[in-house]
Amino acid sequence: MTTTLTIRRPDDWHLHLRDGEMLAAVCPESARHFGRAIIMPNLVPPVVTGSDAARYKERILAARPAGSDFTPLMTLYLTEDTDPEDVAQAHRDGIVQAVKLYPAGATTNSASGVRNFDRVRGVLERMAEIGLPLCVHGEVTDDDVDIFDREAVFIERVLDPLRRATPGLRVVMEHITTADGVEYAQSVDEDLAATITTHHLVINRNFILAGGIKPHYYCLPVAKRERHRLALRKAAISGDARFFLGTDSAPHTDPLKEQACGCAGCFTATNTMSILAQVFEDEGALHRLEGFTSRHGPGFYKLPVNDDTITLTKSNTPVDYPDKIHTGDGPVTLFDPQFPLHWSVADASSG
């Protein structure tokens, strides 16, 4: 029986760190295990320009625990007013690693997102020229499209036409939740990848809705049917380099989750590596964990893998995680996978 596993230090290719008190509390949770993370720009107001991103990056660096090398990889929030030259300059200066597309109204703090895709054509063409990836929240927001169908409809109506209209544009389908997302990512050989969250490998929509409504399992894109969860698991453990980890760890305080109109987002930064080790072990694929968490992401983003390693160990007694982490803004509930976690990150060493 495998009881220890040493892998290259993982990275998180989709992370919400927020700002202020929340940033101070959650940054160390990601910095503990992850080397780098793609930082989502959906602050209020959003991170729109290169100078917004540079200033936000400084705040994140200041929130790291002493001695931490955790590196935030910054993104810009694409709006209909985004200036292609500002994007290109921020890329040249090494300030941003990607641009984030939120269809307007798709999710938390997405009001400034894109309504009319013709208005961002110039930015997308410039990004294709310079090889800067577009991270896509892949859901349509039309009222007449059922929320469980929004990803599949987005692929057909928006993503595929947009990719065809912009040859060379490098796209990350973020937090895919459906077999349709898996199939689309697999159908394209170049310039397309997909991230998968920890929680979508664990929960289906019953977790949210069966036996009473469970706001801490509500996130966007919303978890789908079991057959979609199984398709995501198969993709994650497949060894296919087009799939890699983006936790979408998205902290909201308990009062904001547990109300009549609760916020979307699952907070998984703290126990993600324990959960993933369990999922991969259950699938007989522990040898593929490193690809998913530590190798495929840098491959797509054309960055080196991390120099150092982490070691996961398995113990007979489950690891005790707190139910909540405490922040200056209030308590944040940690994602509960509803199975015991026997793997933990034991030790970090240079290598």
User: Rule CB under 6 A: which residues touch ligand NCD?
Assistant: 16, 42, 107-108, 137, 219-220, 248, 250, 264-265
Please indicate whether residue 248 is annotated as part of the active site.
yes
Round to whole Å and give the CA distance between 338 and 321: 12
- The size of the interface with Zn ion (CB under 5 A), counted in residues, is 1
Round to whole Å and give the CA distance between 290 and 348: 15
Q: Does 248 bind Zn ion (CB under 5 A)?
A: yes
Round to whole Å and give the CA distance between 221 and 135: 14
Nearer to ligand NCD, 151 or 248 (CB): 248
Least spacing, CB of residue 254 vs ligand NCD, in Å: 14
Q: Does 139 bind Zn ion (CB under 5 A)?
A: no
Residues in 299-338 at the binding interface with Zn ion, rule: CB under 5 A: none
Of 270, 203, 275, nearest in space to 232 by CA: 203
Nearer to Zn ion, 49 or 107 (CB): 107
For residue 294, the partner it binds in ligand NCD, Zn ion, none, with Cβ less than 5 to 8 A by kind, is: none
Nearer to Zn ion, 180 or 248 (CB): 248
Least spacing, CB of residue 112 vs ligand NCD, in Å: 13
For residue 137, the partner it binds in ligand NCD, Zn ion, none, with Cβ less than 5 to 8 A by kind, is: ligand NCD
For residue 264, the partner it binds in Zn ion, ligand NCD, none, with Cβ less than 5 to 8 A by kind, is: ligand NCD
Least spacing, CB of residue 40 vs ligand NCD, in Å: 6
Q: Does 12 bind Zn ion (CB under 5 A)?
A: no
Q: What pairing do the DSSP bridges indicate for beta strands 343-349 and 309-314?
A: antiparallel
Least spacing, CB of residue 245 vs Zn ion, in Å: 13
Least spacing, CB of residue 199 vs ligand NCD, in Å: 9
Write b or e for each residue in 269-297: b if 16 or more Cβ atoms lie within 10 A of its Cβ, otherwise e: bbbbbbbbbbbbbebebbebbbbbbbbbb
Which residue do the tokens 């054309």 mark?
Answer: 302
Which amino acid is residue 201, in one-letter code?
Answer: L
Nearer to ligand NCD, 239 or 331 (CB): 331
Binding mask 194-233 for Zn ion (x = CB under 5 A): ----------------------------------------
Nearer to ligand NCD, 30 or 306 (CB): 30
Q: What are the start-end ranges of the E strands in the chain?
A: 4-8, 12-15, 36-39, 71-77, 96-101, 134-136, 171-173, 192-196, 243-245, 309-314, 324-327, 330-333, 343-349
Tell me how long the chain is.
351
Q: Which DSSP letter does residue 304 get?
A: P
Nearer to ligand NCD, 130 or 213 (CB): 213
Residues in 147-176 at the binding interface with Zn ion, rule: CB under 5 A: none
The greatest distance separating any two alpha carbons of the chain, rounded to the nearest whole angstrom, comes to: 56
CA geometry: angle at 108 spanning 215 and 146, to 5°? 70
Least spacing, CB of residue 38 vs ligand NCD, in Å: 11
Neighbours of 212 (CB within 10 A): 6
**Piece of the chain touching Zn ion by CB under 5 A; list 92-100, 111-119, 124-132, 244-252:** 244-252
- Which residue out of 248, 254, 282, 307 is catalytically annotated? 248
Query: Hey, CA dihedral for 306, 68, 96, 106, is it positive or negative?
Result: positive
Which residues are annotated as catalytic? 248
